[in-house]
Amino acid sequence: MASTRCRGFGDDLLDFITAGPKLRKWYGEGERMPTDGMDMEDLDSAGVAEAEAEEEGPRDAILVTDAESLMGEQIVLQLILARAKVRVLVRDAAAIKTAYGPYVTAISGTTDDPAAVAEALRGVRAAICPGKVGALVAAATRRKLGHLVLLSSTGALQPAGFSIGNFINAEQAVLRDPQREQAVQQSGVPYTIVRAGRIRNTPGGNVQLQFTQDDATVQGDISREDLAKVVTGALQKPPRSGLAFQVVGAGPGRPPSDWSDVFAGFQEA
């Protein structure tokens, strides 16, 4: 039986990025959305310029690993919406370039490939890891990366027995691995660890979010879209050393609009 899930804003945004009619409707005929620090005429050469940048050049991009995953896709969409300069590490770079066009620079590979990770980190000021850590931590340490955001989870698994639930369980099993957090905490790289409750494929933007820093297991759900907003919001406050917190949905409302206020009261490790 085919599985179904509710569409959220992330789905609509992906349609917007990959569909010319929606792009023209939202931004006007013949127009394209600029990224930070980039003029309209620079868009066509953006991917080439980033790919050819020397290591000692400016570090102004955000890297997302496992960007082909459901969680990675939502994170990339939030970064594009924020007009960030986005770099992704993916298995199929050609497909990503077709899907996102000039909004991302795609590097072929996985976090298990040290050479691909090293290439992906060129020109990067911060990285977001929503999947396996692999060689990322060692490479980030060598390059003295400014900020590493790790998505983690202590949430319960989905009921087994249907395809989407099994897929989400596989994703969440990776996020629940405590060795990922340990590797990041011991790296010496400034880090933010975002620990989520159970991740849901439901529309975002219609619940309040509850943030805590206690050591209790996270109880509760959070939509994939809202979690992506939290993860990208964490980029606005790079810690001096390390920061970890838990987040779940907490009833009807809306996610924060000012992320600097959210992180202002957090205690660093």
Mean pLDDT of 163-192: 83
As a whole number of angstroms, the distance between CA 211 and CA 209 comes to 7
Note whether 21 and 88 are within 8 A (CB).
no
SS3 198: strand
Better-scored residue on pLDDT, 55 or 196: 196
Residue 11 pLDDT greater than 70, yes or no: no
| Residue 44, token pair as written in the block | 């066509």
Residue pLDDT, tens place only, 234-246: 999 899 999 999 9
Residue 263 pLDDT greater than 90, yes or no: no
Question: What local confidence, expressed as pLDDT, does residue 157 receive?
Answer: 54
Please check whether residue 32 lies inside any domain of the structure.
yes
Question: What local confidence, expressed as pLDDT, does residue 220 receive?
Answer: 84
Please check whether residue 3 lies inside any domain of the structure.
no
Please check whether residue 1 lies inside any domain of the structure.
no
Residue 54 pLDDT greater than 50, yes or no: no
Angstrom CA distances, 71 to 75, 210, 232, stand at 6, 20, 12
Segment of 54-68, 145-159, 194-208 carrying the highest mean pLDDT: 194-208
Residue 174 pLDDT greater than 60, yes or no: yes
Maximum distance among all Cα pairs of the chain, rounded to whole angstroms: 53
Residue 254 maps to which CATH number?
3.40.50.720
What's the domain count of the chain? 1
What is the band of 203 on the pLDDT scale with cuts at 50, 70, 90?
confident
Which residue range(s) make up the domain with 217? Answer: 9-264
**For residue 267, how many C-alpha atoms fall within 13 Å in the half-sphere facing its CB?**
4
